[in-house]
Homo-oligomer: A and B are copies of this chain.
Amino acid sequence: MADELEQHREEIIKLNEQILELLTRRGEVAKKIGEVKRKQGIIVYDPKREKEMLNTLIDQNKGPFSDSVIKQLFKEIFKASTDLQKGDHEKHLYVSRKLKPEDTVVKFNNGGAIGDGKKSFIFGPCSVESQEQVDKVAENLASKGEKFIRGGAFKPRTSPYDFQGLGEEGLKILKKTKDKYDLNIVSEIVNPADFEMADKYVDVFQIGARNMHNFELLKEAGRTRKPILLKRGLSATIEEFIKAAEYIASEGNNNIILCERGIRTYENATRNTLDISAVPILKQGTHLPVMVDVTHSTGRKDIMLPTAKAALAVGADGVMAEVHPDPSVALSDSGQQMDLEEFDEFYNSLSPLSKKYNTNEL
């Protein structure tokens, strides 16, 4: 009986070979069809024809495999064949590292850069409230040699009665701060119609978590020539996050900085759950810089330093956090912004570590 088993197994091996050969031939014909279609400008995927072919095969199927198994197997074969017909640009996203293996580096006139192998920081208040408030933070940042400041002028808030930001007035404040302290301005845009107006004030357009699925905003962001800081949606998968970036890239703007900012889970010890694993997955799958926002992910000042350290260690290109001269009277997120003293302590602990990464000691 061992002989019988052995004999059947040899048959199986021969059948494997023959199936492989037929698949190879099918693949070659599929490639030729792809070439013809490309010349004619026909879309490669043709669900109607596939349905017909499947129906024919099911008619011919006499077992022992069930119809649903045959359907499943041939669907896989069809899919593999369709993929063969696609060019590189059809197979891979613009943001994919498979298409562009080298890192995207976002560079700025003041010498700032994100994604150049060094660790970058973007700090600043949640909302722009006054010139004095922004300047206080900017002065602190400039004295540390930092190159960026963040501040929201358009604030997407859960309630229509919460402070909605100062709007263009806020952007003007930021611009004055930029002129004084030579910092790049990172600020959120929430309406596709606002990019043009905001262009004269802002260096990096931020797309916030609540708008990651706002595809009209993403497309418009893709039509600007400024860097985009794209935050992961509240409960976006990593795949959806990458596709959201592709919306921007597909319109011609590759200057995209991704930002992991925590996802919504059942755990309420933190404001969101910082998905630290997303960072290496995004770094592997795309050529874009990836930052980690430790304020919105944790919502807890008491663990911002260790999570920022984790972000650097896991391979993020930088860290974002919120700083406010007087958080207790802040018009938004008052509980989770660091005051300047807390920020100095945070910065003084994080910065030496960051330098070790920058000089390849780590």
The yes or no answer to A107 lying at the interface (CB within 8 A) is no
Q: Does the CB pair A238–B215 fall under 8 Å?
A: no
Question: Is the interface on chain A under 10, 10 to 19, 20 to 34, or 35 or more residues?
Answer: 35 or more
- Give the CA-CA distance A240 to B362 in the complex, in Å: 36
Across the interface, name the chain B residue whose C-beta is closest to A247. Answer: B160
- Cα(A51)–Cα(B328), bound, Å: 8
Interface residue A263 (Cβ < 8 Å from any Cβ of B): yes
A74 within 8 A of B: yes
Q: Is A73 an interface residue (CB 8 A)?
A: yes
Contact A8 B33 (CB under 8 A): yes
Interface window among A130-138, A141-149, A303-311, A338-346: A303-311
**Is A239 part of the binding interface, using a Cβ–Cβ cutoff of 8 Å?**
yes
Bound: A157/B247 CA distance, A: 10
- Check: A103 CB closer than 8 A to any chain B CB: no
Bound-state CA distance A37–B8 (Å) is 12
Check if A267 sits within 8 Å of B276, measured CB to CB: no
Copies of this chain, tallied across the complex: 4
- B24 contacts A65, C-beta separation under 8 Å: yes
Q: What is the bound-complex CA distance between A297 and B217, given in angstroms? A: 26
Q: Is the CB of A70 within 8 A of B20?
A: yes
A19 touches B29 (CB 8 A): no
Q: List residues 142-179 of chain A with CB under 8 A from any CB of chain B.
A: 156-161
User: Within the assembled complex, what's the spacing in Å between the Cα atoms of A328 and B70?
Assistant: 18
Q: Within the complex, what minimum Cβ distance (angstroms) separates A176 from chain B? A: 25
CA A300 – CA B126 in complex, angstroms?
35
In the assembled complex, the Cα of A20 lies from the Cα of B56 at a distance in Å of 11
A298 to B312, CA, bound (A): 18
Q: Is A334 an interface residue (CB 8 A)?
A: yes
The 6 closest A-B CB pairs, nearest first, are A235-B235, A313-B313, A210-B213, A310-B314, A310-B310, A280-B306
Residue in B closest to A233 when the chains form the complex, CB atoms: B234
**In the complex, are the beta carbons of A265 and B268 less than 8 A apart?**
no
Known: A12-B30, A76-B76, A310-B311. 17 other contacts (CB 8 A): A5-B40, A8-B32, A8-B36, A15-B25, A24-B63, A64-B84, A72-B80, A159-B243, A211-B214, A263-B266, A268-B268, A269-B277, A276-B307, A276-B310, A309-B313, A309-B315, A310-B314
Give CA–CA (A157, B244) in the complex, Å: 10
Residues of B within 8 A of A159 (CB): 243, 246
Q: Within the complex, what minimum Cβ distance (angstroms) separates A89 from chain B?
A: 10
Given A19-B22, A213-B211, A298-B277, A27 contacting B65 (CB threshold 8 A): yes
Write 11 A-B pairs (CB below 8 A) sorted by A numbering. A12-B26, A17-B57, A17-B60, A19-B23, A47-B334, A263-B265, A277-B297, A277-B307, A280-B303, A310-B311, A312-B313
Q: Indicate if the CB atoms of B36 and A1 lie closer than 8 Å.
A: yes
Task: Tell me whether A270 is interfacial, beta carbon within 8 Å.
Answer: yes
Interface string of A9-49 (1 = CB under 8 A from B): 10111011111101111111111110011011000000111
A74 to B22, alpha carbons, bound, how many Å?
13
Query: In the complex, how many angstroms separate the beta carbon of A53 from the nearest chain B beta carbon?
Result: 6
Using Cβ atoms and an 8 Å threshold, which residues of chain B touch A313? 306, 309-310, 312-314
Q: Which of chain B's residues have a CB closer than 8 A to the CB of A88? A: none
Task: Return the chain B residue nearest A52 by Cβ.
Answer: B13
